Amino acid sequence: MADSLRFRDDPVHEEPAVTLDAFLSQSNATAVRLEAGDDARRLVPYLDRIALIEIAFPRFRDGRGYSGARILREAGYTGELRAQGDVLVDQILFMRRCGFDSFAPEKPFDLEVVKATLERYAFVYQKAADDAVPVWKLRHG
């Protein structure tokens, strides 16, 4: 079982994440926490100095964090992007496709189930924030 899961090789960022409003009102934080409903685009001018962005998932059925992750990755963010909260193992593949590379779930993950979940599908059907090539593009060059 794992209380957290990380798909990065760099050292874990230890600084606690501050709220979006606190980050925007100070100049020295390097970790930010976005709550459901926060606008991720407000961070775009600062992405080069943020090491960790934690996105809260208060309920598994609240998908706003997926959009925030994709916005940040498409804007060029390369730091750690962590999904925190009510994150289910079934969501990991889709969260990874949106750009999440670490997870801090409320309930621990079974690592064997995570591995099976990530290996379940050999192909993807649409472009996302990851490097996976959609199957239609493989078929049609």
Read off the pLDDT of residues 11-46 as tens digits, 9 standing for 90 and up: 999 889 999 999 999 878 999 999 999 999 999 999
Closest listed residue to residue 100, CA positions, set 134, 55, 44: 55
Q: Which pLDDT band holds residue 141 (cuts at 50, 70, 90)?
A: low
User: Amino acid identity, residue 7?
Assistant: F
Lowest mean pLDDT among 32-36, 60-64, 71-75: 60-64
Report whether 119 contacts 90 (CB < 8 A): no
Whichever domain contains 61, its CATH number is 3.40.50
Quote the radius of gyration of the chain (alpha carbons, Å): 15
Number of domain units in the chain = 1
Contacts of 79 (CB under 8 A, 6+ apart): 13, 47, 50, 51, 52, 53
Domain encompassing residue 89:
5-140
Lowest average pLDDT, out of 1-5, 6-10, 29-33, 81-85, goes to 1-5
Name 104's bridge partners. 84
Tokens of residue 120, six digits: 């379940």
Model pTM? 0.89
